[in-house]
Amino acid sequence: MAETIPQMFMEIVRKQPEIDVQLSKDAQGIFQPTTYAQLMEEVAACSMALRQVGVARGDHVGLISDNRREWLISDLALLGLGAADVPRGCDATAQEIAYILSWSECGIAILENDRQLQKILDVKLGVITFTSQSLKDAPYNHLTKVILFEAPSETIASQARAQGLEVLLFWDLMERGKTLLAGDPGFYEREAALGKRSDLATIIYTSGTTGDPKGVMLSHGNFLHQTEYLPSIIGVKSGEIFLSVLPVWHSFERVVQYIVLQAGATIAYSKPIGSILLADMKAVRPHWFTSVPRIWEALMDGIYKSIRQAGGAKKVMFSIFVGIGEAYAYFRNMMLDRLPKFTPRSRALDIAVAILPFLLLSPLYALGNLLVFHKIKEKLGGRFIAGVSGGGAMPAHVDRFFDAIGILILEGYGLTETAPVLGVRLKDHPVTGTVGPIHRGTEIRIVDEQGRTLSPGMKGIIQVRGPQVMMGYYRRPDLTAKVLSPDGWLDTGDLGMLTVHGEIKIVGRAKDTIVLRGGENIEPVPIEQKLCESDYIQQAVVLGQDQKYLAALIVPNQEMILAWAKENEIPYEDYPSLLEQPEVKELIDSEIASLVSTRNGFKPFERIFRFALLPEPFQPGRELSAKQELKRHAIDQLYRSIIKDLFKDA
């Protein structure tokens, strides 16, 4: 059995060298295939070249790039050499890249293009300040070489050399590697054979804004545990095509690529943009599609938009058949035991209740499939098996819609700290409203605040233990100890409950991290702290779990607001009515836009799109703990109606 990802890859190459492993677009936008044998040759050449430029076993190498075929070549080459990559996407800020590469002690970084190199130079040249106290005096103190997938401009390359960086081109190195490999064709196999299951494979940094991200250390064994069982769980077969749109540096898409390799399947690289995605689906006719809830929601919205534009009888017919489809799916799921059970329930009674409606609805559903639903399925390429959704909770109405029209979505659950999959709905028995059971070799328990294990149907904190749980946070044993017990139990920070059959239902988050429907991970505390820098904002709570965008509850500084209103001659009856005045809302909106901006190091998806002003400050014992910390779950309950209005169009 393979001990490392490269060893697993080589086993598959030996079994099926001529099967396509990658489909990537050329300069004309046409998908071009790469076979397993060709990829093996490229990986071997890359590893030889990387060794020649100084990559050694145990090194950490930055990998700052979005999805492209060179990413997998570089990843497999580095892992074969016994190095660990430190990945990030091109949307990373200069401060993030500075922290990640410096804290991980990267001597070499592989970059997609000169825009990523410019971010490094901006920090080195002081154009962008580096705020991390631990590193601000010596950012990039290990970095000596950068390798670019795309050739940089001579201006940026010259600036880099002036700052002591050696600039190398990826495909030039590949040619050098091929030449050197001719004299030692067994180099990669020999190096990869030295790897062990316990070796560090990667350090993936969780998202941070103005705070320092945490580097999750994942071993080859963490990933291999997923690849050894997930292909059989979801039924992936050799030669089947996965359409790839999620950022490959995220642990979800990364393990998908390894699952593809293990199954001898094919990766086709696309983008999460409606027109591109649908065109690529038509071109490659994928069997599988992994995505985040927001993309599934966008697909649903696009279908409804098309139907609304058609109008008339087509719109009416579609609405009727979707309604029939939802009813049909519900009774089918009841009959097949696919509804979650949090208390014991009679199977015989479920079948008795469901069978007659199911039989009556079946011919109508078949008609809807013939007239409406099959046309939607054709847009997915015509041989679509299932989608896999992760990175956040699927909205129930989106889940019901795709179930109604006959498109199977297997919702999964996991964390970066668990490499990342903990559970996924079973392809042959998908229980709706859950993320499936915890899989082989992994333990789960639901505990209350005192750490007592709870029974099925009771809500508590999800804790897990298993081979996919991380090695820890890099150079942060203090943070590791907060989430990982000495006997291996990881506190996920998520709230959930178990069904009587062991499926997991996610019901909320005990930790602060917000995950949007697009899969973006956001730490609210730095945003809240930034908002409170305003003279006019006393307290703030950022919201948005499983939503399209962020919103906030704002407690204004009453004294400053009253003074501002007097100065600007704003009429009002009392303070609550003053907060309803458009001038005050414009003031707060301006403050929010100014503070939470890209200029201050925030990403576009971290913007606050909506807010509500609260007249009373948060109080200890109510919204605040005794330590003056926000009680987020209490706030969710106390301001439920206000929060609902903030996301009513989401």
Per-residue pLDDT tens digits for 613-631:
999 999 887 898 655 678 8
* Cβ-contact 82, 47 below 8 angstroms: no
Token pair 């991980």: residue: 104
> Residues 55-78: what's their mean pLDDT?
97
> Residues 259-271: what's their mean pLDDT?
96
- Mean pLDDT, the chain, rounded, equals 93
Q: Which two tokens stand for residue 384?
A: 């679509």
In the predicted structure, residue 290 carries a pLDDT above the cut 60: yes
For 282, other C-beta atoms within 10 Å of its C-beta total 13
* Cβ-contact 442, 422 below 8 angstroms: yes
What is the DSSP annotation of 609-634?
A: EEEEE-SS---BTTTB-TTS-B-HHH
In the predicted structure, residue 483 carries a pLDDT above the cut 80: yes
Strands 60-64 and 108-111: parallel
Q: Report the CATH superfamily, name and number, of domain 523-646.
A: ANL, C-terminal domain (3.30.300.30)
> In the chain, where are the structural domains located?
5-213, 220-441, 523-646
- Report the distance separating Cα 435 and Cα 430, nearest Å: 9
Q: Which residues of 443-479 are buried (b: 16+ CB within 10 A; e: fewer)?
A: ebbbbeeeeeeeebbeebbbbbbbbbbbbbbbbeeee
Per-residue pLDDT tens digits for 90-134:
988 898 899 999 999 999 999 999 999 999 999 988 787 666 666
- Report the distance separating Cα 227 and Cα 262, nearest Å: 6
> Residues 61-82: what's their mean pLDDT?
97
In the predicted structure, residue 155 carries a pLDDT above the cut 50: yes
Structure confidence at residue 207 (pLDDT): 63
Architecture of domain 5-213: 3-Layer(aba) Sandwich (3.40)
Any residues with CB less than 8 A from the CB of 250 and at least 6 apart, and which?
204, 391, 416, 519
Strands 490-498 and 504-509: antiparallel
Structure confidence at residue 130 (pLDDT): 65
Structure confidence at residue 634 (pLDDT): 86
- Report the distance separating Cα 589 and Cα 592, nearest Å: 5
> Residues 348-354: what's their mean pLDDT?
97
Top-tier CATH class for 220-441: alpha beta
Torsion of CA 235, 236, 239, 243, to 10 degrees: 130
Going from the C-alpha of 468 to that of each of 51, 229, 307, 372, the distances in angstroms are: 29, 12, 44, 42
pTM for this predicted structure: 0.85
Structure confidence at residue 436 (pLDDT): 95
In the predicted structure, residue 210 carries a pLDDT above the cut 50: no
How is residue 182 annotated by DSSP?
H
- Report the distance separating Cα 283 and Cα 280, nearest Å: 5
What is the DSSP annotation of 512-579?
A: S-EE-TT--EE-HHHHHHHHTTSTTEEEEEEE-TTSSSEEEEEEE-HHHHHHHHHHTT---SSHHHHT
Torsion of CA 243, 244, 246, 247, to 10 degrees: 180
Q: What is the separation, in whole angstroms, between the first and last Cα of the chain?
A: 47
* Cβ-contact 147, 111 below 8 angstroms: yes
Nearest to 372 by CA among 453, 426, 300, 318: 318
Q: Does the fold of domain 523-646 match that of domain 220-441?
A: no
Q: Return the SS3 of 256.
A: helix
Q: Which two tokens stand for residue 216?
A: 């999750």
> Residues 198-206: what's their mean pLDDT?
96
* Confidence band of 650 (pLDDT split at 50, 70, 90): low
Structure confidence at residue 626 (pLDDT): 54
> Residues 369-382: what's their mean pLDDT?
93
Per-residue pLDDT tens digits for 490-549:
999 888 999 999 999 988 777 788 889 988 888 888 899 899 989 899 999 999 999 999
> Residue 111 is inside which H or E element, if any?
strand 108-111
> Residues 159-183: what's their mean pLDDT?
97
Structure confidence at residue 208 (pLDDT): 47
State what percent of residues in the chain have pLDDT above 90: 78
Contacts by residues 598-604 (CB-CB < 8 Å, ≥ 24 positions apart): 600/210, 600/530, 601/93, 601/95, 601/209, 601/210, 602/209, 602/527, 602/530, 603/91, 603/93, 603/209, 603/520
For 624, other C-beta atoms within 10 Å of its C-beta total 17
